[in-house]
C-alpha cells in the first residue's frame, strides 16, 4: 500500500491510499475556496450528562440529488470539473470534511448561562471515499478494495487517536436517501470525538458490571460465544468472524459482526483478520439488498474502544442496521423511540436472521 498526504486549496488534509506504489498523486486543487469554518461549540446537558455539538455552518453543506454524477464532489476531478479529489482517478481517499462537526479551527465561545457548560468542539471529521466509481457500492467492492478501506480505517483510527482532546474515533457509513445522505457516491465518515459517546459509555458500564459479577470474563466475548453456540441468529461466519442478529435487536434488520479475537480497535486487527472480514461483510451487505429486491438503506457503524478509558473492557465490532422493515415501509423513530429511547421492533430477530441467512452468498 502507498500512502500519500497532500492538501486542498483551503488547507484541509487529503490522503490517498493506493494499491500501486507508482501511483502519481501530484495533482493540485485548482479551486478558490472559502475559509474553513470554526469548530462547533459543545453544550452540556446536565439532565442526560451528554455533550451536544452545535454546528451552524453545517446548514450550508453540499447537497446533491441522489444519482447525479456530473458534479459530484466525491468523484475524481477532470479537465472540466474540480472536485474534492484533485486526482483524475483514485483507489481510496480520506480528506477532512469541509463542513465538520468537530475540528481544531477554534473560534470564540461564550457562556450561555443556566447549568450548561460550553466548550470548543475539538476533534476532527473526515470523509472516506471507498471507490472512484460513482454508481458502485461497498457491497460491490473486491476483497482487495475492502482490504484497502480497512487499511485506511486503521490508519486514521491510530492517527486521530493522537490528537489532543480526542477521546473516541468512530468509523461509519450512512447509505441510502431514506437514511438522509446528501451525496450518493459510495463513502463513509470518521468522527474523532472530544468525549466518549453515550452509547459507548452505556456498553462499557454494562461490561464493567458484568466483569465484577463474572471475574475474568468479557461481556462482548460471552455474547459472541452464546450466539455462536445457539446458532439460530447467526447469519454468516468464517474462521475469524461471525455475523449475527442480536437477540434484542432494536432495528427490523440488524446484524452485528464480531472478530473471534478480542481487540480494542481496527488498528489492532491482524492482516489475516482484515482479509477474512471482506468476503463475509460484503456477502451480508448483498443479503440486505436481496431481502426485498431493492437497495436497502443502512447505517454501518464500527464500535471501537475509547482512546483512554475502558480499553480492556471494549471489543471491536461492527453494527449494521436498516430502517426498512418491509417493502415500501420504513421504521420511523416516533414517540417511544425518539422521546424515551425505548425501542419497539417490528420484526422478530429470529425471523430476520432466517431471511438474511437465505440471501447470503458467502459459500
| Binding-site residue ranges for Zn(2+) | 72, 75, 134, 185
Q: What whole-number distance in Å separates Cα of residue 216 and Cα of residue 92?
A: 40
Please classify residue 208 by burial: count the beta carbons closer than 10 Å to its beta carbon, then call 0-12 exposed, 13-18 middle and 19+ buried: middle
Per the annotation, binding residues are 72, 75, 134, 185
Determine the 3-state secondary structure of 204 from DSSP.
helix
Q: What whole-number distance in Å separates Cα of residue 152 and Cα of residue 147?
A: 9
Q: What whole-number distance in Å separates Cα of residue 146 and Cα of residue 2?
A: 15
- Taking a C-beta distance cutoff of 8 angstroms, is the pair 159, 123 a contact? no
- Taking a C-beta distance cutoff of 8 angstroms, is the pair 23, 101 a contact? no
Residue reference for cell 460484503: 282
Which among 4, 11, 9 is positioned nearest to 105, based on CA atoms?
11
Q: What whole-number distance in Å separates Cα of residue 162 and Cα of residue 59?
A: 29
Output the nine-digit C-alpha cell for 271.
Answer: 492482516
Q: Beta-carbon neighbour count of residue 47 at 10 Å?
A: 7
Q: What whole-number distance in Å separates Cα of residue 143 and Cα of residue 65?
A: 30
Which is the catalytic residue, given 7, 57, 187, 260?
Answer: 187
57 counts as catalytic: no
Question: Which residues are identified as catalytic?
Answer: 187
Amino acid at each position: 500500500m502507498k500512502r500519500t498526504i497532500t492538501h486542498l486549496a483551503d488547507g484541509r488534509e487529503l490522503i490517498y491510499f493506493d494499491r500501486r506504489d507508482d501511483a502519481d498523486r501530484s495533482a493540485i486543487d485548482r479551486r478558490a475556496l472559502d475559509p474553513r469554518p470554526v469548530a462547533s461549540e459543545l453544550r452540556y446537558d446536565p439532565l442526560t450528562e451528554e455533550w451536544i455539538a452545535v454546528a451552524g455552518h453545517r446548514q450550508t453543506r453540499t447537497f446533491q440529488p441522489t444519482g447525479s454524477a456530473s458534479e459530484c464532489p466525491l468523484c475524481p476531478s477532470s479537465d472540466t470539473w474540480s472536485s474534492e479529489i484533485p486526482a483524475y482517478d483514485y483507489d481510496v481517499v480520506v480528506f477532512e470534511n469541509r463542513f465538520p462537526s468537530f475540528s481544531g479551527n477554534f473560534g470564540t465561545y461564550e457562556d450561555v448561562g443556566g447549568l450548561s457548560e460550553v466548550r470548543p468542539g475539538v476533534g476532527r471529521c473526515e470523509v472516506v471515499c471507498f471507490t472512484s466509481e460513482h454508481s458502485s457500492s461497498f457491497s460491490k467492492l473486491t476483497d482487495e478494495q475492502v482490504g484497502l478501506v480497512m487499511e485506511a480505517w486503521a490508519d486514521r483510527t491510530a492517527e486521530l487517536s493522537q490528537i489532543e482532546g480526542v477521546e473516541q474515533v468512530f468509523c461509519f457509513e450512512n447509505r441510502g436517501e431514506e437514511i438522509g445522505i446528501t451525496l450518493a457516491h459510495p463513502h463513509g465518515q470518521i468522527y474523532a470525538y472530544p468525549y466518549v459517546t453515550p452509547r459507548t459509555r452505556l456498553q462499557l458500564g454494562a461490561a464493567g458490571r458484568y466483569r465484577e459479577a463474572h471475574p475474568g470474563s468479557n461481556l462482548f466475548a460471552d455474547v459472541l460465544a452464546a450466539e455462536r453456540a445457539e446458532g439460530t441468529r447467526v447469519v454468516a461466519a468464517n474462521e475469524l468472524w461471525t455475523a449475527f442478529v442480536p437477540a434484542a435487536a432494536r432495528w427490523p434488520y440488524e446484524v452485528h459482526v464480531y472478530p473471534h479475537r478480542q481487540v480494542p480497535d481496527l488498528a489492532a486487527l491482524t492482516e489475516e483478520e482484515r482479509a477474512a472480514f471482506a468476503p463475509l461483510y460484503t456477502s451480508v451487505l448483498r443479503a440486505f439488498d436481496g431481502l426485498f429486491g431493492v437497495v436497502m438503506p443502512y447505517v454501518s457503524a464500527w464500535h471501537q474502544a475509547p482512546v483512554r478509558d475502558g480499553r480492556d473492557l471494549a471489543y471491536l465490532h461492527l453494527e449494521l442496521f436498516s430502517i426498512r422493515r418491509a417493502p415500501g415501509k420504513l421504521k420511523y423513530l416516533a414517540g417511544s423511540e425518539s422521546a424515551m429511547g425505548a425501542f419497539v421492533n417490528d420484526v422478530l430477530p429470529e425471523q430476520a436472521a432466517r431471511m438474511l441467512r437465505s440471501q447470503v452468498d458467502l459459500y
